[in-house]
Amino acid sequence: MAHPDLPRSLNPAVRSILDRVAAESGVETTNSVAALSHSLEGRSLKPVRDGGFGASPEQFASEIYDLAIADASLAWLAATFNSAASDVATLLGNGLWDGDPDALITTGHRGHGVLVDGRLSGRWRSVVGAGYADWLLLSTDDGSACHVLVPRDSAHLEPVGDHLGLAAAGICDVAVTELPVAPHRILRGAHTHTAVTSRCAAAAVVGSADGLWRAHVEHARARLATSYGGEETTDTTAAQLAWAASDIDAAKLQITTAVAAPEGPEDVAWASQQAVARARSAADRLLGHSRHALSASDPVTRRWRDVHAGCRLAVPLIDATASPLR
């Protein structure tokens, strides 16, 4: 299902993403397609000199949160593409985009590769956006920690089942065997946005929990409006709803007030993990005290699955970025 408002000049990969999200969820993802496409193209954190917008960490975390309220898959894609583009721009320069200014990059944190005599072998689990990206930035080891930039077409991709949540996020397991790697595709040095990566992973989870809360409230109001007085909201239900809202507000505060604070990786990781745990607790509380069927066709249940899928992604990602490469 094509999005009617997409500009003709939109990156074809981004157009494909938006079309798939529209088909999967049927929701209007944003009022500004241009702003969304720029975020999905990895331009928000990318330096201005390299064709990006140079957004501040606060702006970007807020953008991810708002995207997650509308659609969790979009939020994860935007967070991943931007973080990877920023790292590549810093460690490699803008040479990657000379031939293709619209190239999308994603990062594989969950897994391990070994680089021996210029050949890479390894496997990386649940790489967000791998189904859409042109390049994969994969963690590996050649005697010291590094990342290797690999064309997506050179890797074997196994899509992760949609039933696990985040159906439109292009999540795949990635594997390569004895792949030749040119020396200039081996990137060393500290990633520049490790703290932002942690915060934005948390923002994607908390924002999706916020979207779940809003969908649940809307569904409850609609049900009450059509019950002709035969159904009431109990004190217990209202209390659980308020408790979930409180957890989400506290988690959001952890993200928005500390995203740019001069904290160490361990402090950032702790705060991000706390935010993720609160969001998961809120999501479970909402579904546990509702009448939603555990079916992918139920929009509230779908959002609950998105929250849990996001938690499974965020926890190891936050752990990985707590000790940035040196």
Closest CA to 51 of 23, 11, 4, 6: 11
Phi, psi angle pair for 114, to nearest 5°: -125, 130
**Domains in the chain with CATH codes:** 12-97 (1.10.540), 105-187 (2.40.110.10), 194-321 (1.20.140.10)
Closest CA to 258 of 245, 247, 243, 269: 269
Tens place of pLDDT per residue across the chain (326 aa) = 344 444 444 566 666 776 766 666 554 444 445 555 566 666 777 667 666 677 777 788 888 898 899 889 889 998 998 888 888 877 776 567 777 777 888 999 888 899 999 999 999 999 999 998 999 999 898 888 888 999 999 999 999 876 678 988 889 999 999 999 999 898 886 555 577 788 889 999 999 999 999 988 887 777 665 555 545 556 667 788 888 999 999 999 988 775 555 566 677 888 899 999 999 999 998 888 766 656 667 888 889 999 999 999 999 888 877 655 43
Contacts of 220 (CB under 8 A, 6+ apart): 233, 290
Amino acid at 43: R
Please give the pLDDT value at position 326: 38
Q: How far is Cα of residue 131 from the mean position of the Cα atoms in its chain?
A: 14
* HSE of 222, CA atoms in CB hemisphere, 13 A: 6
Please give the pLDDT value at position 305: 93
Report the distance separating Cα 283 and Cα 149, nearest Å.
36
The pair of three-digit structure tokens given for residue 231, joined into one six-digit string: 């159904």
Name 106's bridge partners.
136
The pTM for the full model equals 0.85
Report the distance separating Cα 247 and Cα 141, nearest Å.
39
Residue 120 contacts residue 100 (beta carbons within 8 Å): no
Report the distance separating Cα 129 and Cα 39, nearest Å.
13
